[in-house]
């Protein structure tokens, strides 16, 4: 995997070995990160991802010493090093070095690293999904307003549950039994021409790509509802699709064994997103075909 890494004012092309068994982040998971994307010299909503990385750190009780504008500057520098032809994942990360009395994190030991590495976009080919018994935590149970690493093992075990049953992805509900999202991406579906997505209720991350897609669909004349969604609605949906930084917009083509086709809402959302990204977020010159 080709990549570049910035740590302690130095760029390198090999992963730096920066944690040990006594570091708080290694031991007790005091890590936050964000994920942006670049493809063909385009890096959509890079500023929002950099700003959210800092907000997540503050939410976790850290004292981030790198401002969003500096993170974005570093991202642009790293993307230039990778080249316009690269398709990358951009991951700024804050983590805690030390504890106060072991368990309590020391906010003054907040550290930062930026990783930018090759990560091809998944094709618009579809994925299978099923409902799982694992639920998203409530805001008083976990740092759900942060993109915190400690939230992801719960989604990972939901994905393991799905994989053991022959599916690619897991759907998770919130504590009230309403649909929240896929284990690692936001969820939308369409029924009778209406696009519906679970209302952001602080049990899952209100994704930057989710918000962007909602805005683009509405601007293009599509009706989008944000509301509570019952699990049985997915069984009756005309189409289901995901939004998220890693895959942007991807169609679910098999839900609980029911074959589905990529529908007009997902196809429209994907085209609107990539057209908007190309028009507004070019960072490096386009590569000649």
Q: Give the number of domains in the chain.
A: 2
Across the range 79-91, mean pLDDT stands at 96
First to last CA, the chain: 24
Domain end (from 118, 141, 157): 118
Please count the other Cβ atoms lying within 10 Å of the Cβ belonging to residue 45. 20
pLDDT, position 251? 98
Say if residue 138 is in the same domain as residue 106.
no
Say if residue 135 is in the same domain as residue 93.
no
Whole-prediction pTM value?
0.95
The gap from C-alpha 98 to its chain's centroid, in whole angstroms, comes to 27
Check pLDDT > 70 for residue 289.
no
Check pLDDT > 70 for residue 180.
yes
Q: Take residue 247 and report the two structure tokens written for it.
A: 């895959």
Percent of the chain having pLDDT more than 70?
Answer: 99
Across the range 80-89, mean pLDDT stands at 96
What residues are paired with 54 via a beta bridge?
none
In angstroms, the Cα distances linking 68 to 74, 106, 155, 192 are 10, 22, 27, 41
Across the range 225-245, mean pLDDT stands at 98
Task: Indicate the average pLDDT of the chain.
Answer: 96
Say if residue 13 is in the same domain as residue 66.
yes
Nearest one of 125, 130, 4, 179 to 76, comparing CA atoms = 4
DSSP secondary structure of 74-107: HHHHHHHHH-TT-EEEEEEEEEE--EETTTEE-G
pLDDT tens for each residue of 190-232: 999 999 999 999 999 999 999 999 999 999 999 999 999 999 9
pLDDT tens for each residue of 55-81: 999 999 999 999 999 999 999 999 999
Any domain includes 288: no
Say if residue 56 is in the same domain as residue 133.
no
Distance CA 44, CA 49 (A): 9
pLDDT, position 288? 62
Domain end (from 118, 149, 184): 118
Say if residue 23 is in the same domain as residue 83.
yes
Across the range 104-113, mean pLDDT stands at 96
Say if residue 132 is in the same domain as residue 255.
yes
CATH classification at residue 216: 3.20.10.10
Across the range 267-289, mean pLDDT stands at 91
Percent of the chain having pLDDT more than 90?
Answer: 96
Tell me the residue range of the domain where 74 lies.
3-118
Say if residue 114 is in the same domain as residue 131.
no
Domain end (from 54, 84, 118): 118
Any domain includes 243: yes
Name the pLDDT band for 1 (thresholds 50, 70, 90).
low
Any domain includes 179: yes
Say if residue 181 is in the same domain as residue 214.
yes
Any domain includes 233: yes
């Amino acid at each position: 995997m080709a990549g570049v890494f910035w740590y302690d004012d130095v760029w390198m092309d090999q992963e730096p070995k920066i944690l040990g068994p006594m570091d708080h982040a290694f031991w007790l998971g005091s890590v936050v990160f964000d994920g942006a994307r670049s493809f063909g010299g385009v890096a959509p909503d890079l500023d929002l991802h950099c700003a959210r990385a800092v907000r997540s750190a503050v939410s976790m009780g850290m004292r981030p010493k790198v401002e969003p504008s500096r993170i974005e500057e570093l991202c642009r520098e790293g993307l230039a090093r990778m080249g316009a032809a690269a398709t990358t994942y951009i991951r700024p990360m804050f983590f805690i070095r030390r504890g106060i009395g072991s368990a309590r994190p020391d906010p003054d030991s907040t550290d930062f690293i930026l990783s930018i590495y090759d990560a091809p976009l998944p094709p618009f080919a579809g994925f299978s999904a099923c409902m799982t018994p694992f639920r998203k935590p409530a805001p008083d149970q976990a740092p759900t307003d942060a993109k915190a690493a400690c939230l992801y093992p719960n989604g990972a075990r939901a994905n393991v549950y799905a994989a053991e049953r022959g599916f690619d992805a897991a759907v998770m509900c919130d504590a009230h039994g309403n649909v929240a999202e896929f284990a690692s991406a936001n969820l939308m579906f369409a029924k009778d021409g209406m696009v519906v997505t679970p209302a952001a209720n602080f049990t899952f991350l209100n994704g930057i790509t989710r918000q962007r897609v909602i805005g683009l669909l509405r601007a293009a004349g599509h009706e989008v509802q944000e509301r509570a969604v019952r699990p049985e609605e997915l069984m009756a949906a005309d189409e289901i699709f995901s939004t998220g930084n890693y895959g942007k917009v991807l169609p679910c083509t098999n839900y609980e064994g029911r074959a589905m086709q990529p529908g007009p809402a997902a196809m429209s959302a994907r085209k609107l997103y990539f057209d908007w990204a190309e028009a507004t977020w070019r960072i490096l010159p386009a590569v000649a075909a």
